[in-house]
Structure 1
Amino acid sequence: MGRPREFELDDAIEKATDLFWRNGYEGTSLSDLTTAIGISPPSFYFAFGNKEGLFRKVIERYFAEQSKLAEAALRKPTPRAVATHFLNGYAVVLTDPRHAPGCLAMNSSLPCAAGDPLRAWLAELREQTRMRFRDRFAEARGGGLPAGMDADALARLVMVTAWGLAVEAQSGATRKELRRTVALALPAWPDAERSSG
């Protein structure tokens, strides 16, 4: 029978999440992690392999949780309702007082150097989300979007707005300020009825 672990895995991931969210990936050291979790470096390596291994577990859990917001948005009846639900919900996530401001993934990916494998992996995860919005918007052509509207560009518009909110939240913008920004952005949203009228 294997040696029992000195810590509880879920608790360790939560503590690591807090550190990565606050300090980013590069700003969080192995010493920070072992101290917060309360384990020795050998136990850490046995459990997670290395810092990147733990970070990937943290991000996978984070994206699984955040995908619930995207899924709820994607079920809305019109493309504009999809964008409204997602962006307003994301403003709540970014300003939740239970964690550092901003987006965990964005706080960790922006400082990474170009060509860094983690930066590429995080970009791929974001791209997967964008593709979900693109597919949803493509389904709505003629039913909420003007004919010929580029669903791919529209999905990028949603994601660029979301990432801008994340940077603003990290810089100290409040939930009210972020939602005001969303409210200003949405009137420019393409609307099939408005364009046909």
Structure 2
Amino acid sequence: MKPGRPRAFDLDAAIDKAMLIFWEKGYDGTTLNDLTDAFGIQRGSFYKAFGSKEALFERALARYQETVAAYTIDALEQPTAIKVITETWRSAADASTGPDTPNGCLIVQAALGVTPDSSSAHDELTRIRNEHRARLMSRFDRAVSEGDLPSDTNTGALADYVVAVQWGISVRARTGGTREEVQEMVEFALSRLQAPALASNLNA
């Protein structure tokens, strides 16, 4: 009897596995052996399927943005600036402390470990971070034009602040913060936005 045909390599499943490996180990910390062992394939098959580790990383980042980090886009649809920020931070806390995924954020974890020598990965992470900041700034500019934020609001600085706290959420989760502790951190940061410095326009 002839042996059956080998099961086709599932590219989508491999990208999902790669996403989790890069999330856990970072870009530079992930080796080709980590990936081929997880996929159950040889290096030749890996290069045929993905081209390179860098190319696979970009696909894993895209999958992450389409799934886990989709909240960064969804949050922009909230009706007020404070609700945008609230949704961003609370969702970041949830995504960073999921029961079935590594703690922290893939983009933050990879960015903290990637070196400039890994030019493709470095450039892609920089692009993602810059686009996220630009989308927030644009949304806050709209909030100013709608009277939701004070006219003198520095929307670039506010976007930077939101991103900085978002990164802090990931780092706290990655370094041992429990889900409850990370959520408490978020609520404390949100309470600071109710301070007079941002005026009554920034109320929930």
Q: TM-score, normalised to structure 2's length? A: 0.87
Alignment of structure 1 residues 157-172 onto 2, 5 Å: 157-172=161-176
Residue 153 of structure 2 corresponds to residue 145 of structure 1: no
Residue number among 70, 74, 77 corresponding to 1:75 in the alignment = 77
Residue number among 52, 70, 84 corresponding to 2:54 in the alignment = 52
1:106 paired residue number? 108
Once residues 156 and 20 of structure 1 are traced to their aligned partners in structure 2, the CA distance between those partners, rounded to angstroms, is 25
Deviation at 1:129, TM superposition (A): 0.9
Deviation at 1:68, TM superposition (A): 2.5
Residue number among 187, 190, 200 corresponding to 1:193 in the alignment = 200
**Is the CA contact 1:147–1:192 (under 8 Å) kept in the aligned structure 2?**
no
Once residues 159 and 36 of structure 1 are traced to their aligned partners in structure 2, the CA distance between those partners, rounded to angstroms, is 33
2:134 paired residue number? 131
- Unmatched runs of 5 consecutive residues or more in structure 2: 1-5
Once residues 99 and 69 of structure 1 are traced to their aligned partners in structure 2, the CA distance between those partners, rounded to angstroms, is 16
Give the partner amino acid of 1:157.
Y
Deviation at 1:144, TM superposition (A): 2.2
Residue number among 63, 78, 93 corresponding to 2:65 in the alignment = 63
- Percent identity among equivalent residues? 38
Give the partner amino acid of 1:81.
K
Once residues 48 and 168 of structure 2 are traced to their aligned partners in structure 1, the CA distance between those partners, rounded to angstroms, is 38
Deviation at 1:104, TM superposition (A): 0.9
**Is the CA contact 2:148–2:201 (under 8 Å) kept in the aligned structure 1?**
no
**Is the CA contact 2:69–2:95 (under 8 Å) kept in the aligned structure 1?**
no
Figure out how many residues of one structure are paired with residues of the other and give that number. 192
**Is the CA contact 1:143–1:192 (under 8 Å) kept in the aligned structure 2?**
no
Once residues 16 and 71 of structure 1 are traced to their aligned partners in structure 2, the CA distance between those partners, rounded to angstroms, is 23
- After superposition, the C-alpha distances for 1:94-147 in whole angstroms (9 at most, x for unaligned) are 000111111112111211224542123202101101111100100111622122
**Is the CA contact 2:58–2:124 (under 8 Å) kept in the aligned structure 1?**
no
Q: CA-atom RMSD, angstroms? A: 1.9
The ranges of structure 1 where at least 4 consecutive aligned residues each deviate by more than 4 angstroms after the TM superposition are none
Q: 1:133 to 1:66 in 2, by over 3 A?
A: farther
Once residues 151 and 66 of structure 1 are traced to their aligned partners in structure 2, the CA distance between those partners, rounded to angstroms, is 26
Q: 1:109 to 1:194 in 2, by over 3 A?
A: closer
Deviation at 1:81, TM superposition (A): 0.8
- Unmatched runs of 5 consecutive residues or more in structure 1: none
Q: 1:43 to 1:53 in 2, by over 3 A?
A: same
Once residues 35 and 194 of structure 1 are traced to their aligned partners in structure 2, the CA distance between those partners, rounded to angstroms, is 54
2:3 paired residue number? none
2:86 paired residue number? 84
Q: 1:154 to 1:38 in 2, by over 3 A?
A: same
Once residues 35 and 97 of structure 1 are traced to their aligned partners in structure 2, the CA distance between those partners, rounded to angstroms, is 24
